[in-house]
């Protein structure tokens, strides 16, 4: 009985090794241009007193079938009626995407944004970092929908009213 179980385990391990080798060979056949994808994200948050509209074009490079890394630029327009302020926000980020399974995308992103806030009070102009960790439903290799959490979020300083924000990313 132990011999049979050991034989089955060895057979399955060998089959898994062959399958992994075949996937690696197929991945190595991809040209660099096949591993680079352009796209980005859009932000739209509309509430009674708070509106955010933004665009974040980005480029990612597929490191392997599970990991991708890239850069992104961001521009946001924020209208906060509660504080009677308008903001222009811009900056850049670096990101890492990880797909442990086909349907799940885990991500991390470091973003550094300049916030130009125009209010009835003295205007403010400052830089603020954000470190996001998130998870979403992967739409093949072409995008994801999910939520992310800003580990560096600061009330009345960060761009968003909450550390937890939804996202939608797409790539071509």
Structural domain boundaries of the chain? 1-30, 32-171
The mean predicted confidence, pLDDT, of the chain is 84
Answer for the pair 157, 114: CB distance below 8 angstroms, yes or no. no
What token pair was written down for 140? 């093949």
Mean per-residue pLDDT, 144-149? 95
Answer for the pair 70, 93: CB distance below 8 angstroms, yes or no. no
Q: Name, in order, each residue with C-beta under 8 angstroms of 80's C-beta and a sequence gap of 6 or more.
A: 49, 50, 86, 87
Answer for the pair 50, 161: CB distance below 8 angstroms, yes or no. yes
Q: What is the pLDDT of residues 30-63, one digit of tens each?
A: 889 899 999 988 888 888 888 989 999 999 999 9
pTM confidence score? 0.74
What pLDDT is stored for residue 59 in this prediction? 96
Residue 106 to residue 144: CA distance in whole angstroms: 10
Q: What is the pLDDT of residues 63-95, one digit of tens each?
A: 999 999 999 999 999 898 888 889 999 999 999
How much is the CA Rg of the chain, to the nearest whole Å? 21
Q: What is the pLDDT of residues 55-68, one digit of tens each?
A: 999 999 999 999 99
DSSP label of 80: E
Which class would CATH give 32-171?
A: mainly beta
The model's confidence at residue 24, banded by pLDDT at 50, 70 and 90, is low
Calculate what percentage of the chain has a pLDDT beyond 70: 84
Answer for the pair 60, 68: CB distance below 8 angstroms, yes or no. yes
**Of 153, 55, 54, 148, nearest to 105 (Cα)?**
148
Residue 83 to residue 123: CA distance in whole angstroms: 12
Distances (CA, A) of 13 to 2, 7, 65, 101, 126: 16, 10, 20, 19, 55
């Amino acid at each position: 009985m132990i011999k049979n179980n050991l034989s089955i385990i060895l057979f399955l391990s060998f089959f898994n090794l062959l399958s992994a080798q075949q996937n690696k060979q197929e991945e190595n056949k991809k040209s660099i241009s096949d591993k680079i994808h352009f796209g980005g994200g859009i932000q739209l948050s509309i509430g009674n007193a708070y509106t955010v509209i933004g665009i974040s074009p980005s480029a990612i490079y597929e490191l392997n079938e599970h990991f991708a890394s890239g850069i992104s630029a961001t521009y946001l327009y924020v209208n906060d009626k509660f504080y009677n302020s308008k903001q222009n926000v811009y900056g850049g980020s670096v990101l890492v995407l990880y797909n442990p399974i086909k349907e799940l995308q885990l991500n991390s992103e470091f973003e550094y944004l300049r916030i130009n806030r125009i209010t009835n009070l003295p205007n403010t102009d400052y830089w603020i970092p954000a470190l996001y960790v998130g998870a979403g439903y992967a739409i093949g290799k072409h995008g994801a929908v999910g939520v992310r959490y800003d580990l560096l979020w600061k009330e009345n300083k960060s761009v968003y009213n909450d550390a937890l924000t939804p996202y939608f990313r797409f790539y071509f």
